[in-house]
Amino acid sequence: MRFISHAKSSHLDIILDSEKVDIVSPFLSKNTVSKININRHKAFNLVTRLPSSYNYPSAFIENDPAPLLEAMNRMGSKLKLYALPPVHSKIYINEKSSWTGSANFTNNGFSGKPEILVDFEEVNLEIAKIFKSYVSESTLITKKNLQKLLEWIGDGLTEVASRGGSTTSPDVPEAGGASYSDFVSWLRKYQGCHQSDAKILLDRADGGNQMSGHVAIAFNGVVSFLRKNPNLRSPLLASKSGKPGPNIMTPLSDFIKKHGDSYQGPRGGKWRNYLSTELGGRQTSGGAGNVIVRRTLVLLPAYLESRNL
């Protein structure tokens, strides 16, 4: 067993110099993904952080799908890509050895900075078993999934969370962990002027009235709306009213009318189907999701500000 205190590009070259390579890494970079080579690799399995569901665009994603799609196009069936959103482990296995440590499959991870690698100097059976267990927990990603992510990025419905450039460890996304689950955790501690909205929204997120799916879709949709309309965040932050005026609700209605069908529940129900025509939906009366959207809208600017977004 060999301990490496500063992972370098030469160490990555050794890892990749094999016909079969298995990697678990939360984060990737364009340059390292470009090293996946059809002339050298007969089987390449990669577990990383990508969405495991494609019913609707997440507000943020943690890896750029473009270089992964390029790799799938050139590798064909030789590359298997798996999504495991909470993964934090780093594992590297080839035909000769196994490695684990702190280095991501990125330029930054193998740049000579203090990133530890443990080289077992043989194929370690326990590490191989852990890799297989991660694959079994993962979702197999297709080219269609990656194309959908690129489409959503192009429409401004999602974006790759910045990791602060080369000076910041890729393990600390600049987005500060912003996600629907993080938003729900934030709601539990919220002490601002919209506490009644937060309390009811939290109840619905926890399954009240069987509306947890509505809250998840509203979170991701409204984040995208505010990303496209950043000028509306300040008036929402400044307002103590739980009912935004037409200067905000009209553009939100236009956004939902244009993009609402991109957001679907697990059973295929589209976001617009649960919203009133007043909010860009299809319900001529009522609209079960309207109140959820409004409550999410008044709370999200404070959440995003708390996460430096």
Is there a contact between 237 and 305 (Cβ–Cβ < 8 Å)?
yes
Q: 166 lies in a domain? A: no
pTM: 0.87
The predicted pLDDT at position 212 comes to 79
| The total number of structural domains that make up the chain | 2
Domain end position, chosen among 116, 141, 156? 156
Which residues neighbour 24 within 8 Å (Cβ) at sequence distance 6 or greater? 47, 48, 84, 87, 89, 90, 91, 131, 134
As a whole number of angstroms, the distance between CA 214 and CA 98 comes to: 44
Residue 208 DSSP one-character state: G
Question: Any idea what DSSP says for residue 231?
Answer: G
170 in a structural domain:
no
Cα–Cα distance measured from residue 204 to residue 193, given in angstroms and rounded to the nearest whole number:
19
In this structure, are 135 and 248 located in the same domain? no
* Residue 175 identity (one-letter amino acid): A
Q: What is the pLDDT of residues 238-255, one digit of tens each?
A: 988 888 999 999 999 999
115 in Cβ contact with 99 (< 8 Å): no
pLDDT at 112: 97
* Domain co-membership, 55 together with 93: yes
User: What pLDDT sits at residue 34?
Assistant: 97
Q: Which domain holds residue 276?
A: 180-306
d(CA 99, CA 116): 10
The pLDDT assigned to 174 comes to: 39
| pLDDT < 50 positions in the chain | 164-176
Alpha helices in 50-111 (DSSP H): 65-75
pLDDT for 241 equals 85
Contact 47, 23 (CB under 8 A): yes
Among candidate residues 156, 188, 213, the one where a domain is terminated: 156
- Choose one of 156, 172, 202: the last residue of a domain: 156
Tell me the C-alpha distance between 153 and 217, whole Å: 17
Sign of the CA dihedral with 216 first, then 217, 222, and 225 last: positive
The dihedral over CA atoms of 15, 21, 22, 25, expressed in degrees to the nearest 10, equals 50
